[in-house]
Amino acid sequence: MIKLKIDGKELTARPDQTILEVARENGIYIPTLCYHERLSLIKSCRLCLVDVEGCDMPMASCATPVVDGMVVQTRTERVERMRLEALKLLLVNHPLDCPVCDAGGECQLQNRTFEFGIKENQFPPERVDRPSREYGTPLIRQWTERCVMCLRCVHACIDIPGADVLDVVDHGFSSHIEAVRKENCISCGECLHICPVGALTENLSPIKGRRWQLDRVQTTCTFCGCGCQLELNSLADRKVVKVTTKGEAGVNQGSLCVKGRFGYDFVNHPERLQRPLVKRSGVFVEASWEEALALVATRLREVKEKYGGQGIGGISSSRATNEENYLFQKWMRACIGTNHLDNGAGLANGSSLYSMLASTGWPAMTHSMDDVAQADLILIVGADPYEDNLIFSNKMRQAIGRHDAKIILVDPRKTQWERWADLWLRPLPGTDLVWINGLIRLLIEKGGYSKEFVGSKTEGFEAMRLSLERFSREFVTKESGISSNDLEKVAGLYMAAKKRAIVFGSGVTQHLSGAETVKGLCNLALLTGETEREGGGLYPMLTQNNAQGACDMGGLPEFLPGYERVDDEKARRRFEEIWEGSIPERPGLSYTEIFEKIHEGKIKALYVFGEDPFLTLPNLERLRNGLHHLEFLVVQDLFMTHIGSYADVILPGVSFAEKEGTFTNMERRVQRVRQAISPVGEARPDWKIISDLSTAMGYPMKYQTPAEVMEEIASLVPSYAMMTYANLEKGGVQWPLENGRKKRFLAVEYRGAAEQPDERYPLWIIPRGFHYHYGIGTTTKRAKGLAKVFPDSCIEVHPEDAKRAGIGEGDKVKVISPRGEVETICRISEDLPRGVAYFATTFFPVFVNNLLTSGQDRSGLQPEYKVFIGRVERR
Amino acid sequence: MRKIKTASDLEKWRQDIIKKQKRDEIVVSVCGGTGCHAYGCKKVRDQFAKAIKKNGFMDKKIRLRFTGCRGFCERGPIVTIQPQGVFYQRVQEKDVDLIVSETINQGKIIDRLLYEDPNTKRKIDSEKEIPFYKAQHRLVLGKNGLIEPTKIEDYIGVGGYQSLTKALFEMKPEEIIEEIKTSGLRGRGGAGFPTGKKWEDCRKAQGNMKYLICNCDEGDPGAYMDRSLLEGNPHSVLEGMIIGAYAIGGSHGYIYVRHEYPLACKNAEIAIKQARRAGLLGKDILGSGFDFDIEIAKGGGAFVCGESTALISSIEGRVGEPRSKQIHTVTRGLWGKPTNLNNVETWANVPLIIEKGSKWFASIGTEKSKGTKIFSLVGKVKNTGLVEVPMGITLNEIIFGIGGGAKNGRQIKAVQTGGPSGGCIPASLFDLPVDFDSLTQVGSMMGSGGMIVMDEGTCMVDVAKYFVHFLEEESCGKCLPCREGLKRMGQILDGITEGRGDEETLMLLEDLSQVVGDTSLCGLGKTAPNPVLSALRYFRPEFEAHIYQKKCPAGVCTSLIQYSISEDCTGCGACAKVCPMKAIEGEKKQIHRILTELCSKCGSCKDVCKSNAVIVQ
């Protein structure tokens, strides 16, 4: 520890701290404009200068490390005068348009001017006309003349997401910030968030409010699995007009991606369902809640009486809250008497959940998101965190900065992370398991595994090892296209590292062989104990905001809340006792199986909550035909969906902005969702709809608030024992990873792809998500801001493939697979390997699911989302 | 060229070269520096080549050499002929045949082409006797006249790469660093940081990849010593860098040259290629097992890129802006790796120290500033050009001894040293020894070695204004005080020179200067107020004259002066003819008159008046 004196106060500090940090920690105020704790030092504003005894010149406190015995004065006449002069210089040409500036009321320049009590300036005000140029994104407006050139935005853009869009152009007094590399911009708004004045403002909402007119409610983002904390700014309890972030809150520490920051206006979209709809003579008519609820309760009861509870299926929503998912499955199980329920996360991430549960015993990320910043090697497989989980990508970047982490990227497509990768492998689509097994075999041969950990903490190693017999280097090269040299390099980097993080995403999980591939990755992680506290971690990237929570809450056919199996009698009895109802003892049907059984006429009524299977399941025609067998279909959603148009009753739920609850993010962190505005129209919170339905069906649910639901969850599910709203008030809480059991190596089996390109269908086509949209696009396609930047889907084709097909950049094309065809636009991209095309799509309004093969993996969970064969033709 | 694999091979090569060169009886050296190029030296050289070929010179072996800059640029193109040691200046293409027939063939000296001492009017035929050269100590620049920069053989012939073999095979890296440390060599880029200490820190820095940078981003107006060195003797810079790399453990080097120096870029590039081919750069240098290579990085010519961190940004392909130096570049510089940056002149000193020893080097100069320093002497003196002098020599010796004193019989008023952010030193302090510390003491600095001599016709307010505007232009704009402060300082100075100053103006100017100097981020801003502060310190009455009397004593600031014609006018009409504004009227042989309202104060009339009748007030 170091002892020093600041303004006469005796203080202690760590040697790695700067004067500014120590001062702030101890409540001593030093003014700043450019300093930001998350950015590398900028030192441009010179306001934080302090006098240090023994130094002639004042020192920049943001950059001066503390030294033992240092004596610092923060308010000498000299430094105060210098700060004042500097500020005055800024004010000479800063337009005093504060009354119409968005930053008015929370502008750092305004605050500093007030602090220093500047009333006059010896230099006459000067208007500097700067040419206005297009900014990196249409979602942000740049006011060059308001800029104080603190350069925070430039640093933020490089330091945090690594986009590197902005730079200083020109020099001297003419210098200004410009988006010089617009093509790199991902509209994340880091610059907007970090601008201390009004030089960057949101260019989206037509309605603006002054800082003090807006209500700010801190809540959890509704898009990806990162679970960012954000503040919904609302006007008069009716309309969300802006999203802001607080620096210190949540995993995101103030950062967001474009969806979180600019995707909010779907909430007030005119197409929102505002009243229940009931179909009469084939036409939807508006109905009162009483009428609609009574109808649903009656019809479901009739079906149950006729066919038993097993004749009813339910799809729950991985975008709804924990409380709602809990109530939904409780209602399905204890009231209706069926285990035929699943949620969207089962489709998108099911394979990682089940395989990780089998291997590590935890159906979740083995570490916290922050831990990835401690790794010294990151293996990225089939994931594009930069596009899909930006906040996690930011944390991964910290590992490079802090630990010089080596990056191995495995992806056929050149993603942004290729820029930062030390090694980039491009396996043939669908062959990840081959090289993973090859790598494990190689590591075992080279002794690159922890014998001690494997011996004492795991089981099944021998069986796994034997199952790798065929994965010789030659086989790997032949099957996956990865050369033995590259595999050696991976092994070399892997063995040289100490903390190896494995990041994988939908490129692994959403394959037919997804579950097997995840097992392979688990095996790899177990070799060196990366799953343990001191290890690097295994990080599945979850696509939905509450994918983790929906599964935790038992929104799965075989699991009760807390992953207790329904066929485990003891567990079931415990729930039956508290729920005062009986639960069917056999595991139910999965998402895809439910629709199979509808087709077979075994499921007669279906309740779909916040999902649109018509956009997520393959083979639309078959799905549609199947619906004829249904006697009753209820859809509960925000918007009219594709399956919704076939429903008998539609119940309008509410968005995350209009209700209370919790989401669990992909690092198992349970976080509060708080109501910002009143429900749109007559829409009702989903938990309320489910409770009322259950009550109407004779199984009373008398919860007054979601908090009460959470109390029940906490009492039933050990991992959620701490999750009362009182505990969550201060911030999210992670559910703990505790189980005494040994980790398991799992023997894995590799089967080749379901189909191979041929003459008629010469391309592998891989659907991919992208930064600006999310899931099937129900919400993001309705967000004006997002649609503005990226309105259409497109197919990316390698130049040579395009030449062969006679198509060019921007052409309208048809994408044809053996199942069907869809129309889109062609983009030529050299980022892809030859023979592979990427379909950047949110499904809506392009029915890409129509092109997918209808094969499923053996466990019946996972459709093949990530690859099919096809061709591209000019329209 | 052969690839050299051992030190003895190099020695053998050297002996071969010397033997071959000895066969040449006469060596004609034409200066090929950028200055002489402007005077047309290329044509002179080509003419020589033609003449030599035409004449055949059956019995004499003549060698034509196109050398680097000789420093006396004002007198270019310069031609010397060995072994007589004849020094011809201002040689034109048409003079060549005469030189060949008279001097080369018959050994006769052509009087007209000799240098005439303006003070004694004596013609001088040998370089050593010319006052401009006489007082110099040309350790670093000296070889420029002896070699052709694009021929590695020339450099090896004069003992080049000898120091490298010594360093590689007779010394340990630590010993080299110790040698540099005891020599007392300080960075020639301006700040004067001890070179050995920097090397030591970089050697100690963690990391297996280390970079070396040679800073040739010479941006001071009028300074060109780095250019002349890199142009005229690129191998000496390379040799210094290779020795440095071996001492530090560097693996890759960059020479950062501004693109306005095309000849320096070209010659350095050729030298690198030659050194690579000869095995002096690249893998396993001279069979020592040491690998090192150098490449050229071209800069866009921003003044601020001479600052080390801005320069590093520029090499990395980013905007050249200074960065925080909280972590020194020796620990984390280029691409985040330990980086040792030195100036061209510093690198060029290294082989000398290794060759002749630190004791010898330390014997030259003053207690704290060792060795020699190259200055570019320009302005209102008779002899201008590059001068290399031992540290500690007085300003008087440079300005009056080497420079020959004022032109046109005027009084010398001050000298501005250290480039645009240096300061003005008044003539009363010309006894000052020139070294790092004394210059700083009087409010100026060594800088990269610019020396602009000013006489009574120079307005000090105008000088301050010029430099502030220069720096305002060249500020990168990153930090607030430099960006905004220089703009306002420029505004204030504009006001003073235009007669808009009042009592508070000087106070405000001083305050602002202090804020900019004390609070700016990098050296550019920190030193930017120097010209203003030093001018205020030594020439305050001039400022006051502008403010209170609304007069410019030197007659420079156009808003404050008026032209008129005195009774000395002979009525020749030359002024009226030259006046662009048609502001002069008068009958032939009658006294002319200037119409003040039309006059643009360009001064053309004063320049053409033979009877000194145009008066400035």
The tens digit of pLDDT for each residue in A676-720 reads 999 999 999 999 999 999 999 999 999 999 999 999 999 999 999
Checking if the pLDDT of A767 tops 90, the result is no
A172 → closest Cβ in B473, B511, B515: B473
Q: Is B486 within 8 Å of A173 when comparing Cβ atoms?
A: yes
What pLDDT does residue B302 have? Answer: 81
> How confident is the model over A770-794, as pLDDT tens digits?
777 777 777 887 888 887 777 678 8
What pLDDT does residue A194 have? Answer: 94
Q: Is B476 within 8 Å of A171 when comparing Cβ atoms?
A: yes
The verdict on residue B8 lying in a domain is no
A173 → closest Cβ in B477, B481, B512: B477
What pLDDT does residue B57 have? Answer: 66
CB < 8 Å to A89, chain B: 480-481, 484-485, 488
For residues B210 and B354, membership in a common domain is answered with yes
Residue ranges of chain B with pLDDT lower than 50? none
* B578: CB partners within 8 A, 6+ apart: B604, B605, B607, B608
> How confident is the model over A254-282, as pLDDT tens digits?
999 999 999 998 999 999 999 999 999 99
Residue A119 CA to residue A121 CA, distance in Å, equals 7
For residues B514 and B527, membership in a common domain is answered with yes
Q: How far is A211 from chain B (nearest CA, A)?
A: 28
What ipTM, to 2 d.p.? 0.80
Show which of B402, B429, B455 is a domain's final residue: B455
Q: For residue B589, what are its two tokens?
A: 């042989």
Substitution target from B474, B515, B527 for chain A, most A beta carbons within 10 A = B515
For residues B188 and B201, membership in a common domain is answered with yes
Show which of B455, B474, B494 is a domain's final residue: B455
Q: Is B480 within 8 Å of A44 when comparing Cβ atoms?
A: yes
The verdict on residue B5 lying in a domain is no
Q: How far is B548 from chain A (nearest CA, A)?
A: 20
Q: Is B477 within 8 Å of A172 when comparing Cβ atoms?
A: yes
Residue A68 CA to residue A59 CA, distance in Å, equals 16
The verdict on residue B9 lying in a domain is no
Where are the strands (E) in B231-371, listed by range? 252-258, 293-299, 339-343
Q: CATH number for the domain including B572?
A: 3.30.70.20
Q: For residue A331, what are its two tokens?
A: 């209602």
> How confident is the model over A742-756, as pLDDT tens digits?
899 998 888 877 788
Show which of B306, B339, B362 is a domain's final residue: B362
Q: How far is B304 from chain A (nearest CA, A)?
A: 10
Q: CATH number for the domain including B443?
A: 3.10.20.600
The verdict on residue B344 lying in a domain is yes
Residue B415 CA to residue B399 CA, distance in Å, equals 9
> Chains A, B: CB contacts under 8 A, how many?
104
What pLDDT does residue A844 have? Answer: 61
Q: CATH number for the domain including B90?
A: 3.40.30.10
Q: For residue B90, what are its two tokens?
A: 């201002």
- What is the domain extent for residue B386? 372-455
Q: Is B484 within 8 Å of A173 when comparing Cβ atoms?
A: yes
Q: How far is B395 from chain A (nearest CA, A)?
A: 29
Dihedral over Cα of B488, B490, B491, B496: its sign:
positive
Substitution target from B475, B510, B519, B527 for chain A, most A beta carbons within 10 A = B519
pLDDT band at A856 (very low <50, low <70, confident <90, very high): low
Which residue in chain A is spatially nearest to B491 when comparing CA positions? Answer: A123
The verdict on residue B406 lying in a domain is yes
* Residue where the block lists tokens 């009333």: A119
Lowest mean pLDDT among A60-64, A236-240, A845-849: A845-849
Mean pLDDT over each residue of chain A, to the nearest integer: 91
For residues B73 and B187, membership in a common domain is answered with no
Name the DSSP letter for residue B370. B
Which residue in chain A is spatially nearest to B518 when comparing CA positions? Answer: A57
Q: How far is B488 from chain A (nearest CA, A)?
A: 8
Q: What is the average per-residue pLDDT within A161-168?
A: 92
For residues B407 and B498, membership in a common domain is answered with no
For residues B331 and B476, membership in a common domain is answered with no
Q: CATH number for the domain including B523?
A: 1.20.1440.230
For residues B537 and B509, membership in a common domain is answered with yes
- Cβ atoms of residues A735 and A552 within 8 Å: yes
The verdict on residue B259 lying in a domain is yes
> How confident is the model over A697-706, as pLDDT tens digits?
999 999 999 9
CB < 8 Å to B321, chain A: 168
Q: Is B326 within 8 Å of A63 when comparing Cβ atoms?
A: yes
For residues B257 and B178, membership in a common domain is answered with yes
- Cβ atoms of residues B489 and B482 within 8 Å: no
Q: Is A82 within 8 Å of B473 when comparing Cβ atoms?
A: no
Task: Give A700's Cβ-side CA count (13 Å radius).
Answer: 2
What pLDDT does residue B307 have? Answer: 86
Displacement of CA B138 from its chain's centroid (Å): 14
The verdict on residue B18 lying in a domain is no
Q: Is B326 within 8 Å of A65 when comparing Cβ atoms?
A: yes
One-letter identity of residue B274: Q
Return the closest-CA partner of residue B496 out of B452, B443, B535. B535
Which residue in chain B is spatially nearest to A152 when comparing CA positions? Answer: B478
Residue A562 CA to residue A578 CA, distance in Å, equals 15
* A558: CB partners within 8 A, 6+ apart: A339, A565, A566, A567, A587, A588
Substitution target from A44, A121, A158 for chain B, most B beta carbons within 10 A = A44
A89 → closest Cβ in B319, B478, B484: B484
pLDDT band at A14 (very low <50, low <70, confident <90, very high): very high
CB < 8 Å to B486, chain A: 172-173
For residues B196 and B236, membership in a common domain is answered with yes
CB atoms within 10 A of CB B427: 18
Residues of A with CB under 8 A from a CB of B: 40-47, 49, 57-58, 60, 63-65, 81-82, 85-86, 89-90, 92-93, 122-123, 148-149, 151, 167-176
Which residue in chain B is spatially nearest to A173 when comparing CA positions? Answer: B483
pLDDT band at A134 (very low <50, low <70, confident <90, very high): confident
- pTM to 2 decimal places: 0.85
Question: How many domains is chain B partitioned into structurally?
Answer: 5
- Give me the residues paired with residue B378 across strands: B452
Provide the 3-class DSSP secondary structure of residue B216.
strand
Residues of B with CB under 8 A from a CB of A: 302, 304, 318-319, 321, 324, 326, 472-481, 483-488, 491, 504, 508, 511-512, 515, 518-521
Q: How far is B484 from chain A (nearest CA, A)?
A: 6
Q: CATH number for the domain including B293?
A: 3.40.50.11540
Task: Give B125's Cβ-side CA count (13 Å radius).
Answer: 13
For residues B295 and B196, membership in a common domain is answered with yes
Residue A423 CA to residue A623 CA, distance in Å, equals 43
Which residue in chain B is spatially nearest to A174 when comparing CA positions? Answer: B477
Q: Is B324 within 8 Å of A49 when comparing Cβ atoms?
A: no
For residues B450 and B407, membership in a common domain is answered with yes
CB < 8 Å to A149, chain B: 477-478, 480, 483
Q: What is the average per-residue pLDDT within A341-369?
A: 89
Q: How far is B320 from chain A (nearest CA, A)?
A: 9
Residue A253 CA to residue A229 CA, distance in Å, equals 8
Which residue in chain B is spatially nearest to A82 when comparing CA positions? Answer: B515
Provide the 3-class DSSP secondary structure of residue A43.
coil
The verdict on residue B7 lying in a domain is no
Q: How far is B522 from chain A (nearest CA, A)?
A: 10
For residues B170 and B287, membership in a common domain is answered with yes
Q: Is B481 within 8 Å of A168 when comparing Cβ atoms?
A: no
What pLDDT does residue A861 have? Answer: 63
pLDDT band at A318 (very low <50, low <70, confident <90, very high): very high
